[in-house]
Chain A
Amino acid sequence: MTPDHMDLVYRVLDDQLVDVDGRRCGRVDDLEFDGGPGEQPRLSAILSGSGMWHRRMPRVLRTAGARIFGTGVLGEDVIRVPWEQVGEITSTIRLKAKATELGLAQGEEEAARFVRKFPKS
């Protein structure tokens, strides 16, 4: 990575997301670009969630992948994190806000509701 170039596939795609409190909150499952044909494409957002997986699978597996992992419904099985929320790229992608504020904590919160019933949790 240099000031002018960044290998998005090598350094961003599939990397761990970490929120401002240091909590792991998902992975970079896909990237969103702005800009139409002939325009300068601009990296606009990170897409995180299993709903993006089927799009990256081989064509023959996409239907099954969508059924199993989700079809990519924003707010349900995919969360959109604006690129402006990225603070730092090291061995992880550090975000500027909390996972709860960005909508990345849904799954953990549902599971936590159950785990909180355990003793000494």
Chain B
Amino acid sequence: MAGDVARGRSKTTFVRVHGSELSAQAQHEAEKLNDDPVAPSLKSPVESAITLASDVGGAIDEMRVSPQDRQQAMENEAKLHEWALKARKLAETL
């Protein structure tokens, strides 16, 4: 979605509404990770995951506020891509 916003290929209402769904999902995952009890050995990766989820939600929220800002969307696209790779690596270590 960020890539399409960066290239001016999306619609404002769509970015705001679908972005809201995705951001809420990221928030929900962060809350679940925070609330569930974890073994001491998993504390650090879980905290990393919570940070990632919050970062992802934050980037999506930025795009929702300014869906016409293509420069911001381009930066968020790169960040989201990096965070996706981090999340995958994190999942593989668990």
Do A and B interact directly, with beta carbons closer than 8 Å? no
Chain B residues packing against A (C-beta within 8 Å): none
Report which A residues bind B (CB closer than 8 A).
none
